[in-house]
Amino acid sequence: MKYLVTLFLLFAGSIQVVQAQELKCKVVVNADQVQYTNKRLFKTLETAVSEFVNNTRWTKDEFSIDERIDCFMLITITKFEAPDKFTGSIQVTSTRPVFGSGYNSPVFNFKDPDFEFSYLENAPVLFTPDIFQSNLASVVAYYAYLIIALDYDTFSSEGGTAYFSEAQRIVSNAQSAGYAGWSSSEKQRNRFWLVDNFLQTAWQPLRICLYNYHRKGLDMMSEKLVESRSVILNSLEELRKVHTVKPLSFNVQLFFSAKEDELVGIFSLAETAEKERVVNLLKTLDPTRSSKYNTILKPN
């Protein structure tokens, strides 16, 4: 009996120190547009990417299983050239829990159309931070760091800087690889500019907004609804500073692509004056979604 008790205590103690990786990522590979008989190839790709994302240690911080960051990667294959050339897109989303509720707030939502890579069936995805090994590993690692950086920014003011810098290092290593999405000269909505903007002073108000919106606003709503809604509105006002310098900037538009439905939900029950103020602000900062924001003005 004493032996069994000892084993139980050792087992119980081991449970307490079990640590999880940072990400809890669902990976899906969709190859419906590709006419290829060996569908198993796409399944092994899905498994390899999932294992890479979820089993890699991305930071030095300790995460419990419940603290892992919920995220999703959808890889859509539009072209396949045997034996190992893939062309398609990757859509990445992430959320973070809101204190005192069962709600997960969307933080990031982006579809990257520039995704070409090589992959051989049953091969692991290998990544080394200091060198470019493959476009598959670099793109997935880039978004892993971006997810972590944004999550950290929502919990502490500019807390994700180190991980934005890691993502930027991947960009630098990929410059000479010849794949689309990594160069500053291609277009303004790609991987280069996405992370570069976050590290520029002009976009600092966006990062301040991320912290105030989530930590001082959403996390307090279960206790102080009206006050927290006011904090969220004031955090959105920070984005005027970015808009003045960089109207309709890529990063601010991505913020609203994640937040549009949430903002409608938050402010639909506000007082009329607050509704009018937030709708006018949102239509200035994010005019493409004006019709959606107008629904906030409907009577309670």
If you count them, how many residues does the chain have? 300
pTM for the structure as a whole: 0.92
pLDDT in tens, the chain (300 residues): 433 333 333 333 433 334 578 999 999 999 999 988 888 999 999 999 999 999 999 999 999 998 999 999 999 999 999 899 999 999 999 999 999 999 999 999 999 999 999 999 999 999 999 999 999 999 999 999 999 999 999 999 999 999 999 999 999 999 999 999 999 999 889 999 999 999 999 999 999 999 999 999 999 999 999 999 999 999 999 999 999 999 999 999 999 999 999 999 999 999 999 999 999 999 999 999 999 999 999 998
Average pLDDT, the chain: 93
User: What are the sequence ranges of the domains in the chain?
Assistant: 12-199, 205-300
Cα gap 155→143, rounded to integer Å: 19
Please write the tens of the pLDDT for every residue from 94-106: 999 999 999 999 9
Which residues, at least 6 apart from 235, have a Cβ–Cβ distance to it below 8 Å? 208, 209, 212, 213, 216, 217
Task: Show the DSSP H helices in the chain as ranges.
Answer: 2-17, 40-55, 135-155, 161-174, 191-198, 204-211, 225-237, 239-245, 250-267, 272-285, 290-294
> In whole angstroms, how far apart are CA 44 and each of 40, 138, 160?
6, 18, 32
Structure tokens at 264: 């409608």
Which residues, at least 6 apart from 16, have a Cβ–Cβ distance to it below 8 Å? none
